[in-house]
Amino acid sequence: MKNDGSVMSLSRVTHNTMADIAGKHLKTGFAILGCLLSCCCFAKISLPSVIDNNMVLQRQSKVALWGTTNRHTKVSINTSWNNKTWSVNPAADGSWKILVQTPAAGGPYRIVFSDGDKLVLSNVLIGEVWICSGQSNMEMPVAGFRNQPVENSNRILMQANNPEIRIFSLDRNLSVTPLKDAKSSGWQTEDPAVVKKFSAVGYQFAKMIQETLKVPVGIIGTYWGGTMIEAWMSAESLHSFSGIKIPKDTIGVNKNSPTVLYNAMINPLIGYGIRGMIWYQGEQNWMEPALYEKLLPAMVRDWRKSWASGDFPFYYVQIAPFTYPDKRELVPRLREAQSKSLDQIPAAGMVVTMDIGDEHTVHPRDKTTVSRRLAYWALANVYGKKGLEFASPVFRSMHISGDTINVAFDHAENGLTSFGREITGFELAEADSVFYPAHAVITGKGIRLTAARVKKPVAARYDFRDWVQGDLFGVDGLPVTPFRTDLWEKEYYNQ
C-alpha cells in the first residue's frame, strides 16, 4: 500500500474533532467521571491486607472478617466450606465486621463478598494461625543478615515447598496514631524465594507445627530489629507507667518511640483469628530490667484484651548469651525479669537459650533450636501432645550445710545431665557478696556445690552473666534456666 499521507490526514482530523468535543463538554465530562469514580470507590468492597487470597483462617472458631463499603449497602459473605451466606449492615462510615464459623482444617476454599459487586477470595485454607513478633532475633530471616548466617539456611530453603504453609509479613512502619491497615507482602505460598526473607524462627516454628499436626498453618510476621518493648505497646497499656511519654505528633519520633509499632504493625491485625503468639525481644531493653519485668506482662494483657479471644498462648524467648558493651551486670537481670514474667502471664511459656548463644554477636546462628523449643511449648500445651517435655529446669530451693549448698529444681523429674562436660556455670558467695567459681556435682536430688575459697556460702548463682556457655540440662536436653538465690544489687566476681 502506498503511503500518500491520507492516513496521517485522517488521524489529524479525528484528533481535532475529538478535541473540539472534549473542549465543549469538558466540565460536564469531569463531573460525570467524578461521579462514576466516587460511586466505584464507595460501592466497592475494600478489605484489609491481612484478609486476602491464600490466607489461613483459624480452624473451628468464629473468625472475624471486616472491611468497608457504601454505607447504604448490605454486605453478604458466602463461605464455600459450608455454602452458608452471612450478611451485615455497615456502620455510618461504611465499615463492617462479621464473625463466621470455620470448620476443621482443610481447603482450598473460596469466600465471596458482595455489596452488589462481587469480590472473590480464593485458595483460602483453614488451619492454625500464629503471629511471630519482636526485634532482630525474630526478624533475622532464613537467609541471615549480612555477614551473619543462619545455620543450615540453604538446607532449610531446599525443603521450602509445602503448599500448606502460608506466610504473611508486615512491612516496617510506624505511626503515632492507630492504623486500620498495614503495608505487607500479602499472604504468600511457601517457596524458597519467599521463605528466605521471612523470620527463621517464625518460619521453622510454623513448619514444625504443620509437619506434626498435618494441618495448614499460617504464620504472620510483624517485627523490627533494634526495637524496645514500649514501641510495641498501646497507649492504653502504657498509661500506668508515668515515666514513659507517648508521642502526640511526629516530631522526633523513631522506631523506639512508645506506641508507634503497636499503632502501625499490631493494631491492623487485631481481631484476625489466631491460635497464639511467639515473641523474641528484650535485647534493646537490657538497661532497664526492673521496668521490663512490668512491661512484658502489661503488653500481653493488653494484646489479649484487644483481641477479645481469651488468654491465647504467648510463648517467648529469653535473650541469648552475648558479650554486651557496657553495664553487663544488667543483662542477667533482664533474663531474670523474663523468667519472673512467667508467674504474671497466664498460658505463657519461656524458651531458654543459654546453650546456643554467640559471644561475638547478639544474633546467634542457631535458630532451629529456638523454633523447636517454642514448638515444644505449643505442641504440649495447645495441641495436647502428651509426654513431650517443654519447660526448662528452674531453681526450686537450696539447702546450706557447712561449706556446701545443695540445689533442687522443678521441671527435672528425670534428673539432670551435662552430657559428659564439666559444669562451669555455678558460683558461690559468702556474706561479703564476692562470687567464686563453684565445683558442681549432679546428685539424685539436684546439684551439690562447693568452692575452695568459700567456706560459709550464703548464695549461689548459675549462668548469671551476660556471656556464658550453658552446660547443664534436663535429660530431655532443655537447658537449665539461669538463676540467683540472692537479691544483691552490687556483687563482685573473682576468677
Cβ atoms within 10 Å of 24's Cβ, excluding its own: 10
Q: What is the mean pLDDT of residues 250-260?
A: 97
Higher pLDDT, 23 or 94: 94
Report d(CA 367, CA 351) in Å as an integer.
12
Q: Are strands 118-134 and 217-223 parallel, antiparallel or unpaired?
A: parallel
Q: How many CB atoms lie within 10 A of CB 374?
A: 28
pLDDT (tens digit per residue) in 317-373: 999 999 999 999 999 999 999 999 999 999 999 999 999 999 999 999 999 999 999
CATH superfamily of 128-381: SGNH hydrolase (3.40.50.1110)
In the three-class reduction of DSSP (H, G, I as helix; E, B as strand; rest coil), residue 27 is classed as helix
What spatial distance separates the first Cα and last Cα of the chain, rounded to whole Å? Answer: 98
Query: What is the pLDDT at residue 491?
Result: 76
CA distances from 144 to 136, 157, 185, 198 (A): 11, 12, 19, 10
150 has a pLDDT exceeding 70? yes
- The model carries a pTM of 0.90
Strands 118-134 and 276-280: parallel
For the segment 215-236, what is each residue's pLDDT rounded down to a tens digit? 999 999 999 999 999 999 999 9
Orientation angle between helical segments 289-307 and 331-341, nearest 10 degrees: 30
Residue 27: per-residue pLDDT? 39
| Per-residue pLDDT band at 489 (split at 50, 70, 90) | confident
Beta strand pairing call for 473-474 and 416-417: antiparallel
On whether the 56-125 domain is CATH 2.60.40, my answer is yes
Helix (H, G, I), strand (E, B) or coil at 226: coil
Cβ neighbors of 211 (< 8 A, separation 6 or more) are: none
Is pLDDT above 90 for 66?
A: yes
> Residue 494's pLDDT is what?
66
Whole-number Å distance between alpha carbons of 102 and 385: 23
Give the pLDDT band (50/70/90) at residue 495.
low
Q: So what's the pLDDT on residue 419?
A: 97
Which residue bears the cell 546456643?
356
80-127 pLDDT per residue, tens: 999 999 999 999 999 999 999 999 999 999 999 999 999 999 999 999
Please count the CA atoms within 13 angstroms of the CA of 427 that sit on its side-chain side. 22
CB within 8 Å of 156: residues ≥ 6 apart: 142, 150, 195, 200, 203, 204, 368
As given in the structure block, the three cell numbers for residue 465 are 552473666
| pLDDT score for 490 | 79
Model confidence at 421: pLDDT above 50: yes
